[in-house]
Structures are given as structure tokens and as C-alpha cells.
């Protein structure tokens, strides 16, 4: 869905009741609720709808069951107990089409300014929109946690994984010790890559899925995936990853490197609007009943709420933020007589 004349005409006449930044599942759920409350809204998304899910590994299977990914009361039909990435993408496309949601894809929000109380101007790469309320639902997947080491920006280093086939019969190093790193290492191994896994901890993360942990541990025992635990990455070169482990440095062959060290939300819009947040955790200040921040008229939805602690907010619980949030927006709009 792209910008349409109806939205542009409405915007030139008067401010939107609410502009939603981000078209992930939580942002789309907000749009559905805005429509139910007959609010004038639009959704601005710098990529495509559910852009983060698009960039998940191509063969990924969701951890959860279909009903926990549903929004707007529409059922998600899956061939298996747990839906695949492709089934998820298909489902959210159907939701947008069924509800005829006004989503502006590939229109990035670059700046949000507050002109006065309950008057915000949202500047994008295409236009500018005025709104009485703003919902920030941007997620975190676009911002990897960088290690800050030499060579991290080399072309054979990636913070995202797609599929194993291109790395058949190649030396690949996976950096990280949580689910994404472990699943990537296993998939690469089964795709014929020579895999080493480097993790700064003495053991894999406690959150590694219970049915995956025995698999990776067996691969370690058989020498099919080489573990480098309690190891610090010092540098990445064109053909090696240099590490320090128990006082000893070593070089691990690496024609490709996947640095799966986690992600964090951007605080750009917080800084622009004056939304308060913890500088260490990046967790913003908000009312858990209405999801309104310390800035009146600015709301949060989805994983952006968790800051760096992004293991706390998933689609399963973030999809409900829109219901309470838009109820608050609608009630405030009635009080303001708009």
C-alpha cells in the first residue's frame, strides 16, 4: 500500500487523529483499532509491511502457535503446528487487504517535531503529516548491536542470516550464543558449511530453545560444529576471526562471518520529541495502562517498549498494545472535541 490521494487530501485539510510509525504486527494492530474507533489515521513504514519478518531466515519457523500471532480477529492458517515465515508474511498481507489499512510503504519517517500541545509534524522522505497523536512502533531489528572491532564492516560480515545454500563448503564463523546464533550454526552445518561458533560466555544462553540445545551440544561433541566459548572477538580479517580465549589468542578460518549479537531500538524519535528513557537499557518511560509516554500525545507499541531487553516483548503480547492505546487516543479525542 502506498500513499493515496484520500490520505493526502485529508492531511492538507486537518491533522490526522493519529499517525502510526511502523507497519509491523503491533503497528498494524494499532491501525485496526484506530479504524474501529473511527479515527483518522495513517501508517508510515520505511520498508514493506512486517519488514522485520521479511528479513528473518527464509526457512524460519515461529516459536509460537498460529493463534498467538493473530491480529484483528483474523485466523492464521498454518500447515503445521507452528507457522513458517512465509505463512506469517502471507497472513499479514491478508490482514492489511481485508481491513483496507492505509499503509504508506517505503516512506521513511526522518523527523518528528512537536509544534504545540497535541500537534505533531511527521517529516518523511516523501512528505510531511500533521497529527494530534503519534504512535512509535518501530521495533529493533534494523539496529544490530555492534561489537566495535576492526573488520566488522567488511563485506563478508553480516548481522543478518538468510539461508545456508550460498555457504556450502565454506568456512563460516557465527558469533553469538543465543537462539539466532545457535539456529544459524545448525542450519549452516546442515547446508554443508564448515562452522565455528564463537561466544563470549562460558556456556550458551539460558534462553536457547529446549529442543535445540541438545542438537547443538551433540554437534559440539562430535566436532561437527567447533565451539569457541568464553572467547572475545578481537578482529575480523578477510579470511580469519581473531579471538582471545583464556589468555590465548587464536585465528579461526572465516570466509564468511555472521555476527548475531542482538539488536536494539533506535532512540532517534525519543530524542527528537523529549521522550524519557534509560540510557543503559534504552527502556522508555510510559504508562502501562495507556502506553502514553511522558510526552502527551506520544504513544508506544510493540518491542520498542522493551529497549535493549527485547526478549520481553514479542508479537504474542505486543499485538495487544493497540487495543488499550487507541482506546486512550479515542477518549482523549472526544475530550478535545475532535
pLDDT given at position 311: 66
Distances (CA, A) of 163 to 187, 223, 258, 320: 8, 22, 12, 32
Q: What is the pLDDT of residue 195?
A: 98
CA distances from 141 to 94, 115, 241, 308 (A): 23, 30, 24, 11
Whether the pLDDT of residue 314 is over 60: the answer is: yes
Reference 140, options 312, 316, 308; nearest CA is 308
Q: For residue 226, what are the CA distances in angstroms to 32, 160, 223, 290, 322?
A: 47, 21, 6, 48, 44
Q: What average pLDDT score do residues 221-242 get?
A: 97
**Residues 195 and 170: beta-carbon distance below 8 Å:** no
What pLDDT shows up at residue 3?
42
Residue range 165-188: average pLDDT? 96
Assess contact for 283 and 306: CB atoms under 8 A.
yes
Q: Which domains does the chain have, with CATH numbers?
A: 5-143+263-336 (3.50.50.60), 157-259 (3.50.50.60)
CA gyration radius for the chain? 22
Specify the pTM: 0.88
Give the CA count within 13 Å in the CB-facing half-sphere of 298: 25
pLDDT band per the 50, 70, 90 thresholds, residue 14: low
Per-residue pLDDT at 92: 96
DSSP 142-206: TSB-----TTTTSTTEES----SGGGTTSEEEEE--SHHHHHHHHHHHHTT-EEEEEESSSS--T
**pLDDT tier at 319, thresholds 50, 70, 90:** confident
Asked if pLDDT for residue 5 goes beyond 60, the answer is: no
Distance of CA 161 to CAs 90, 204, 247, 289, Å? 21, 19, 31, 36
Cell numbers for 326, please give them: 487507541
Give the pLDDT confidence of 96-154 residue by residue, as tens digits. Answer: 999 999 999 999 999 999 999 999 999 999 999 999 999 999 988 888 999 999 999 99
Mean pLDDT of 167-178: 97
Q: Assess whether pLDDT exceeds 90 at residue 306.
A: no
Q: What is the pLDDT, as a whole number, of residue 9?
A: 39
Q: Is the pLDDT of residue 13 over 50?
A: no
Q: What is the pLDDT of residues 27-69, one digit of tens each?
A: 999 999 999 999 999 999 999 999 999 989 998 888 888 998 9
Amino acid at each position: 500500500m502506498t500513499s493515496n490521494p484520500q490520505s493526502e487530501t485529508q492531511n492538507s485539510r486537518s491533522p490526522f487523529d493519529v499517525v502510526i510509525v511502523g507497519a509491523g504486527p503491533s503497528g498494524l494492530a494499532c491501525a485496526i483499532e484506530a479504524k474501529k474507533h473511527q479515527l483518522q489515521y495513517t501508517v508510515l513504514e520505511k520498508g514493506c509491511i512486517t519488514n522485520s519478518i521479511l528479513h528473518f531466515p527464509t526457512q524460519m519457523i515461529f516459536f509460537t502457535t498460529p493463534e498467538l500471532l493473530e491480529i484483528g480477529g483474523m485466523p492464521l492458517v498454518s500447515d503445521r503446528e507452528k507457522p513458517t515465515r512465509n505463512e506469517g508474511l502471507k497472513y499479514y498481507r491478508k490482514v492489511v487487504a481485508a481491513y483496507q489499512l492505509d499503509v504508506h510503504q517505503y516512506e521513511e519517517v526522518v523527523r518528528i517535531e512537536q509544534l504545540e500541545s497535541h500537534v505533531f509534524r511527521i517529516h518523511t522522505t516523501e512528505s510531511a503529516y500533521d497529527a494530534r497523536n503519534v504512535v512509535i512502533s518501530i521495533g529493533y531489528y534494523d539496529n544490530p548491536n555492534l561489537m566495535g572491532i576492526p573488520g566488522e564492516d567488511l563485506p563478508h560480515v553480516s548481522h543478518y542470516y538468510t539461508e545456508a545454500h550460498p555457504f556450502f563448503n565454506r568456512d563460516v564463523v557465527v558469533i553469538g550464543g543465543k537462539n539466532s546464533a545457535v539456529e544459524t550454526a545448525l542450519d549452516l552445518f546442515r547446508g554443508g558449511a564448515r562452522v565455528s561458533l564463537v561466544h563470549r560466555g562460558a556456556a550458551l544462553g539460558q534462553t536457547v530453545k529446549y529442543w535445540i540445545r541438545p542438537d547443538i551440544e551433540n554437534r559440539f561433541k562430535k566436532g561437527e560444529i567447533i565451539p569457541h566459548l568464553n572467547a572475545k572477538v578481537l578482529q575480523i580479517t578477510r579470511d580469519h576471526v581473531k579471538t582471545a580465549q583464556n589468555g590465548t589468542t587464536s585465528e579461526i578460518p572465516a570466509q564468511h562471518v555472521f555476527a548475531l549479537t542482538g539488536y536494539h531500538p533506535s532512540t532517534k524519535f525519543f530524542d527528537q520529541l523529549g521522550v524519557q528513557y534509560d540510557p543503559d537499557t534504552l527502556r522508555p518511560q510510559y504508562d502501562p495502562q495507556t502506553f502514553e509516554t511522558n510526552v502527551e500525545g506520544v504513544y508506544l507499541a510493540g518491542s520498542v517498549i522493551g529497549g535493549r531487553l527485547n526478549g520481553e516483548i514479542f508479537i504474542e503480547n505486543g499485538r495487544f498494545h493497540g487495543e488499550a492505546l487507541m482506546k486512550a487516543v479515542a477518549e482523549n479525542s472526544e475530550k478535545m472535541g475532535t
